[in-house]
A = this chain, B = another copy of it.
Amino acid sequence: MYAEVQHRPTAAGHAHLDRRISNATKPAFCARKHSAGQTLYREGDTAHYVFEVLTGVVCQSRVMPDGRRQIIGFGYPGDFTGFPANGQHHTDCEVVADGQVVAHRRDALENGRTDPELHMRLINAALHEITGMQDHCVMLGRKSAREKTAAFLSALMDRIGTPLGNYIQVSIPMSRSDIADFLGLTTETVSRTFTLLRDDGLIALENARNIIVLRPEDLRDLSLTE
């Protein structure tokens, strides 16, 4: 499955209902296929679009000059990404799991005249982005590796988990390295912490990319207070 970037210059209405690819002024960017590993935008790029994830998963990251990387956030279906400041992107954004992405013209964010409904949706998405990043800061600054990992799995469970009797199955779309860079840890610590959560009976590890949450409530509690 490939990720398609769809360009919607003015059309209103719910994104899922409008998947045609329009002729736009920047055709090089429209309807380009995107699959895992490909880049939607890079830090410093002029921000022509704000992106809406329909399916698949994307991630925003910043890389320090010496290579250290921090993942700012993952974008799951329904999320927006790529809010600009001073007309520029300030993170890299790449596709983690193939899917479809809609590119909304940036001016819809700043100007309500052309499409008031989209304008409102984008503003609300930006405000939710702020709140989500506040959560992320608390996690990065004040939680232990165990709490971070539990918080990450809880969020994943709530976003893309599928019920399995009393349990919840979660397929993890990103690598251990992505998880580590999201949580401010190393891959080794993430791996070890997964093992600990398994030993405590909170989760079962089918394989590296698929887990089953055995005690969803306990996992959620763990992410709030140790």
A interface secondary structure, majority: helix
Query: How many residues on chain A are close to B (CB under 8 Å)?
Result: 40
Q: A84-B127, A110-B120 are in contact. Are A142 and B225 (CB under 8 A)?
A: no
Q: How far is the CB of A66 from chain B (nearest CB, A)?
A: 5
Which of A30-38, A132-140, A191-199, A212-220 participates in binding chain B? A132-140
B-facing residues in A107-150 (Cβ within 8 Å): 109-110, 112, 120, 123-124, 126-131, 133-134, 136-138, 140-142
Give every chain B residue within 8 A of A124 (Cβ-Cβ): 85, 110
In the complex, the count of this chain's copies comes to 2
Distance in angstroms between the alpha carbons of A216 and B86 in the assembled complex: 26
Task: Say if the beta carbon of A72 comes within 8 Å of chain B.
Answer: yes
> Which residues of the other chain, B, contact A224 by a CB distance below 8 angstroms?
64-65
User: What separation, in Å, do the CA atoms of A99 and B117 have in the docked complex?
Assistant: 38
Among A60, A128, A138, A225, max chain B CB count under 10 A is at A138
Nearest-CB residue, chain B, relative to A185: B141
A72-B70 Cα distance, complex, nearest whole Å:
17
A184 to B134, alpha carbons, bound, how many Å?
13
Q: Which one of B65, B112, B130, B184 contacts A140 once the chains associate, using CB atoms below 8 Å?
A: B184
User: A64-B225, A184-B142 given as contacts; is B129 within 8 A of A130 (CB)?
Assistant: yes
Partner of A83, one of B66, B130, B137: B130
Known: A85-B128, A123-B126, A126-B127. 14 other contacts (CB 8 A): A64-B142, A64-B224, A65-B225, A69-B142, A70-B138, A72-B134, A84-B127, A85-B124, A85-B131, A123-B123, A136-B137, A137-B137, A137-B140, A141-B183
